[in-house]
A = this chain, B = another copy of it.
């Protein structure tokens, strides 16, 4: 399962009652963060999920409202005694940006492994038992959408295992995904597992205009977190000008991509009550939630 929370739901400016948009995911006790604006660490402290096992911070792009909180977060993590390396991934040039920002935080006591999108193999980053896909999207500067994938192995098939010429103590290794060599023969997990089951997919797209590639990228995801900078359709021109999306556009992507649930976020500071515009999205895609800070959800495997 994946536990997911939005640390903030604002765009551009952090407000007293609305932090900037940032996603936080817990998978088997490890954490992934996407975007970290000014104040994100405060919201995380309120949420109370902890920081110790944060493995990866992903950045969509280099506008201040998505990345300015990084040095403060890294220093706070350092204060908590971290020594293991931490991955930072994002668009081209992220190494320089992180270096510039960390000029005021030179004493971070752990290694940062910064990976630019160009160094991804087939746009996929893998760690532990999950993977993260990226997709370049259409904003006013280089910007990435993210997809977090948690695959689910097939069920253990007792009959298959019993049919192998392999003692029982080795079965759990195969079940955990490891190969086993026994009496000169290689046994693979597939030999004891049933068909691979549907995993969990969470997608995060902000800031961008809608694109066909985005629809394909988020297809069939369990949760689609998407920007909706303005609620009303009347503000489409303004959104186009600034390379953002309005509620109805995000809902159209959700509907075309057949996602299970849509969370709208990254609201303009000019929109103090985004929930008033829910119908602009829900008329197109019913399972829409106008998100609020620290909304959270546990997503379980549906294929049992």
Tell whether A63 is near chain B: CB-to-CB under 8 Å.
yes
Question: B-facing mask of A9-31, CB < 8 A → 1, else 0?
Answer: 00011111000000000000000
- Chain A residues 55 to 79 lying within 8 A of chain B, measured CB to CB, are 62-65, 67-69, 71-72, 75-76, 79
Decide: B38 and A41 in contact? CB cutoff 8 A: yes
Name A46's closest neighbour in chain B (CB-CB).
Answer: B16
Interface flag for A127 (CB, 8 Å): no
Complex: chain B residue closest to A19, CB-CB: B42
Task: Point out the residues of chain B lying under 8 angstroms from A65, CB to CB.
Answer: 72, 75
Q: Which residue of B lies closest to A269 (CB)?
A: B79
On chain B, the residues within 8 Å of A104 by CB distance are 62-64, 67-68, 97, 100-101
| A41–B13 touching, CB < 8 Å | yes
A74, closest chain B residue (CB): B64
How many copies of this chain are found per oligomer? 2
- Is the CB of A238 closer than 8 A to any CB of chain B? no
* A105 to B14 alpha-carbon distance, docked (Å): 15
Assess whether A274 is interfacial by the CB under 8 Å rule.
Answer: no
Q: Which of B15, B45, B75, B100 contacts A15 (CB 8 A)?
A: B45
- Given contacts A38-B41, A97-B104, A100-B100, is CB(A71)–CB(B64) below 8 Å? yes
Is A228's CB within 8 Å of the partner chain B?
Answer: no
| Contact between A13 and B64, CB atoms less than 8 A apart | no
Return the contact of A39 from the options B38, B46, B79 (Cβ within 8 A): B38
Residues on the B chain within 8 Å of A101, using CB: 100-101, 103-104
Cβ of A107 to closest chain B Cβ, rounded Å: 9
Chain B residues near A46: list those with CB within 8 A. Answer: 16
Known A39-B42, A41-B38; judge A13-B76 contact (CB<8 A): yes
* Complex contacts, A72 vs chain B, CB 8 Å: 13-14, 37-38, 64-65, 68
Complex alpha-carbon distance, A68 and B105, angstroms: 10
Residues of B within 8 A of A97 (CB): 103-104
A122 to B192, CA, bound (A): 80
Complex contact A42–B64 (CB within 8 A)? no
Q: Which chain B positions have C-beta within 8 A of A100?
A: 100-101, 103-104
Cβ proximity bits A119-130 to B, threshold 8 Å, 1 near / 0 not: 000000000000
Would you give the 0/1 interface string for A34-52, flagging 1 where the beta carbon is closer than 8 Å to chain B? Answer: 0001110110011000000
Contact of A79 with B12 in the complex, beta carbons under 8 Å: yes
Per the bound structure, the CA–CA distance linking A192 and B8 in Å amounts to 59
The answer, among B13, B16, B79, for a CB contact under 8 Å with A79, is B13
How distant is A86 from chain B, measured CB to nearest CB, in Å?
16
Given contacts A14-B41, A38-B38, A101-B104, 4 further A-B contacts (CB under 8 A): A14-B42, A38-B69, A64-B105, A101-B103
5 sampled A-B residue pairs with Cβ under 8 A: A15-B45, A16-B42, A39-B42, A64-B75, A100-B100
